[in-house]
Structure 1
């Protein structure tokens, strides 16, 4: 039975509204909405009030003191309880998602090196910011829904898409925010979107997200990139600087965070390359990134014939710098041998592998109309293989998906470029034996592409055998800027290549071993249903 309360005796109730946790102290005390202008908000300054500023704890996204320890063993980051902060309003499925993100996805994304972004910042911000929280749940759903070697399960796809939509809506709702820390929120969500798109194989979407984040950093002027901005976390800047290099290699434009000669390694004198003395693996990794970026930039310019003068001085300068780097890395390993953790030792080996791979990539690039004699680099390819085999042998627990770059690029280089077919097949077998992914580098897919390149070489040689010796026609280093293309269903692929001046397309299907030259017209790279995977760089000339 319902009792009606007379109007005269009803108590007036204030309309419920969540108290803002992001405004300045003055506005929060006055119980009004703050515009969150950096420094002092306009609500206070326009009315002559003294703005008491923002809570420092909020700016640093300090997690709740009550934490639980992840099941990753000693040294693992302490994780916030799910019942606190943003997590208190999550559904049961979402709480399971954030738990999976903390305990399973983060250890995977951390990969080969310690990461302040994944192990600290992502946990802190997802604890306080709903947009980041739902982005991390979406990422964990994709990670959890991908069985090894299989497609993404539908239920996880729909759940991830729902969480992505919520994250986007929350970001759009705050897009006009003057909160100086909102930039960190957007950039971290951007990194998570990139990682998610890499996992599902949507490379173009991933690079579009990445370009957006890079433009945000660039718009913040160079003080952001150089680490002097008070509003952008340095680990985010470091992550985007590393991803910027991958973005350039995969043909999504020039490096965004390298605006001119002063940001490039090209300004060093050949006679006086930099001298390094590392104190940590992190320092060694940061020192290598500019050189690997310069290698990719140099190779890209060679593909497009962008040099108007001889590239040899720049090529020699980068090679000299990489040699100095390898010497400094050796000194660091010897000096700190008794203080390096097992993960640090692994990191040093991977940095050595990356530097040697960059050096080999640079050496097999042609200049003008001269092609290097690839057989003289057989020893270099052998060294890359040996180091890769050692890393894989000593690290059986390599994560299935990682944002770090490790063994896949140097293995793919050997599988595609060596003139010793025994080395090429060893590299292919190593790629097949470690079906994991490093950013956009998918080991299983690249192994199949390398096999198809060998088949293309055999077909071209056979076609030419009647008139000219097959040995006179061989694969040349980057001279053709086409891209390996992938269909929407990620099953059909085509590899463009040039025979003389004639462009052809080699098509293959992941479901079977049938492949061959496509005789019918092939749609352009921008056609709907086809997406870029990796540069082809395949040309046969006389």
Structure 2
């Protein structure tokens, strides 16, 4: 048989084709070619499928910095495009670990993920929060400006619109699940607006959510296990909002609960956490009310304020006794994260007690509280070292309030500088509080004090023009000048100030006390205001 030489088959060259990036959401989820017919594509309608429309904004294609493993939650009851898949993976692997950075939470670790699988409105709201969080984290939580040309912001706007539209369609529905879906979307809207600095819209969502909660409680509806942590999160943010909205004197001076009704032996860290959160419901309105009072008003109400202050200090001391017992009995048996959680609860106690004690202390008497200020600062610095991966955003209060109290109240100016440096070293948000705003307020008051005393402390961390930063903050929200922290810091807006760039920005501080006294204006840690049209500021309610 003659030898034959095999001839290789000729290679068929294929013309490379670009993948369509503008197809409808249904075709992209199915990974098939879309004919891109305006309105609804023929490929979907001819096969009896619902065309889910076209995305106006798409996220830029970037090499992911995190793995995207297969996830059964991706198969929810509607089509999910590649942007949604990326956003959901980012939410699971970056946003959720940050939200539970201080304490574990079934709300974020289980319930939200399950609801995203079953409810498209929740899935879109999750993607909205994920996009805003990713942009804020990339900018070190400084929230330096709104930019609808920003791909993340534009994508978040579209996801918010889709979620809101789905909720609006179901307003007249009798679906028993609707109330839970609406409350969860309200919470996600609140967090997104806070990250953008849109406080007015965030508080509208929060107020609507609280109305739904009160309506359900008034009707005596049975509370599902999923609802308890969700309602607790909304109430926790509502309590923090006392520093940003007006406070009724009855809420500030009347106890919400008696100590015996909720103080008992702690068996878990969660027991201690729930108890300190209940105490926060009492201390937060009191502090917000006191910080808005002038010295003359405090003097006029001295008896009633002093009585309420002593009640709160007694309540906090009872809590400390129970926490000390729990630490002695159970600390060694706790997991490393629970041990850190127990230290966080103790830090919350120290911060709350210091703030309540400072609230009625005269400026000339503040040097007597320097040991307490130093103890809170040392506790914060020690605990910060135990956070290898510090969360950028969490609902729970932790470091900001205590550090800000030290940075604005302590009579020892070098201790105040250390507190400002600690705030600046970890840019993050805790609920409504933001380190960037806290640093700006503390630096402003500290610089004023240093200039008046003519001291040579220069190692104060700065992040640009603090005056311009604060002016934009206070003029970008309706009630900014009346925030309790701003009133306590005695900062007043100059009538000649403007944010159009043509008029120099300036502040007028209230007249300082005589040089012999210690200037120590107070402050808080609200997030930076950033104008951004995310939604119309409302949340659908049944």
Q: How would you bin the TM-score normalised by the shorter chain?
A: 0.5 to 0.7
Residue 281 of structure 1: aligned partner: 269
1:234 matched to 2:234 = no
Aligned ranges 1:287-366 → 2 under 5 Å: 287-302=275-290, 303-304=292-293, 310-366=304-360
Change beyond 3 A, Cα 1:301–1:408 = closer
Does 2:143 align with 1:143? no
- Secondary structure at 1:276's aligned position in 2? coil
What is residue 103 of structure 1 aligned with on the other side?
93
Q: Give the direction of change, closer, same or farther, for the CA distance of 1:401–1:508 in structure 2 (3 Å limit).
A: farther
Alignment CA distance shift 1:507-1:111 (3 Å): farther
Query: Going by fraction, where is helix more abundant, 1 or 2?
Result: 2
> What's the counterpart of residue 41 of structure 1?
none
User: What's the CA shift string for 1:283-340, capped at 9, x where partnerless?
Assistant: 1111111212211212233335595952323221211111111121122122112321
Does the Cα contact within 8 Å between 1:365 and 1:372 map onto a contact in 2?
no
What is aligned with 2:76? 85
What's the offset of the Cα at 1:259?
A: 12
Match of 2:430 among 427, 430, 438: 438
For 1:90, what is the secondary structure of its paired residue?
A: coil
Secondary structure at the counterpart of residue 89 of structure 1 = coil
For 2:252 and 2:215, locate their aligned partners in 1 and report how far apart those are by CA, in whole Å: 12
Specify whether residues 432 and 143 from structure 1 end up closer, same or farther in structure 2 by C-alpha distance, changes over 3 A only.
same
Name the SS of the counterpart of 1:112 in structure 2: coil
Deviates more, 1:272-281 or 1:343-352: 272-281
8 Å contact kept, 1:181–1:231:
no
| 1:124 and 2:114 matched | yes
| Higher strand fraction (1 or 2) | 1
* 2:166 equivalent among 159, 167, 170: 170
From 399, 402, 405, the counterpart of 2:394: 402
Secondary structure (helix, strand or coil) at the match of 2:333 reads coil
1:130-167 CA-partner distances (Å, limit 9, x unpaired): 11000001111112223133657701111110000000
Q: Deviations over 1:445-487 (max 9, x none)?
A: 311221111233456679xxxxxxxxxxxxxxxxxxxx97616
Q: CA deviation at 1:85?
A: 2.2
Which residue is 2:53 aligned to?
Answer: none
Q: How far 1:489 moved relative to its partner?
A: 8.3
State the TM-score, normalizing by the size of structure 1.
Answer: 0.68
- C-alpha deviations, 1:253-306, integer Å up to 9, x for none? 5699x8996x713x45xxx79642111111111111121221121223333559
Residue segments in structure 1 that go unaligned for 5+ positions in a row: 1-14, 19-69, 73-77, 463-482, 520-531, 536-542
Question: Could you tell me whether the CA contact under 8 Å between 2:98 and 2:393 is conserved in 1?
Answer: yes
Q: TM-score, normalised to structure 2's length?
A: 0.68
Q: Is the contact between residue 122 and residue 185 of structure 2 (CA under 8 Å) also seen in structure 1?
A: yes
Contact 2:492 2:508 (8 Å CA) reproduced: no
CA distance in 1, matches of 2:167, 2:248: 28
2:156 corresponding residue in structure 1 = 160
The whole-number CA distance in structure 1 between the counterparts of 2:399 and 2:164 is 34
Q: 1:498 to 1:288 in 2, by over 3 A?
A: closer
CA distance in 2, matches of 1:95, 1:214: 31
Residues 312/496 of structure 1: CA separation in 2 closer, same or farther (3 Å cut): closer
Deviation at 1:496, TM superposition (A): 6.3
Matching residue within 361, 385, 389 for 1:393: 385
Q: Distance in 2 between matches of 1:323 and 1:417?
A: 22
CA 1:391–1:299 in structure 2 vs 1: closer, same or farther (change >3 Å)? Answer: same
Residue 484 and residue 534 in structure 1: after superposition, are their counterparts in 2 closer, same or farther (change >3 A)? farther
Q: Distance in 2 between matches of 1:533 and 1:387?
A: 18
Per-residue deviation, 1:347: 0.9
C-alpha distance in 2, partners of 1:130/1:210?
A: 21
What does the per-residue CA deviation read over 1:223-274, in whole Å, with 9 as the maximum and x for residues that have no partner? 87xx953487111121112112111123365699x8996x713x45xxx796
RMSD: 4.1
Aligned pair partner of 1:452 in 444, 463, 469: 444
1:292 and 1:355 in contact (8 A); partners too: no
Distance 1:498 1:120 in 2: 40
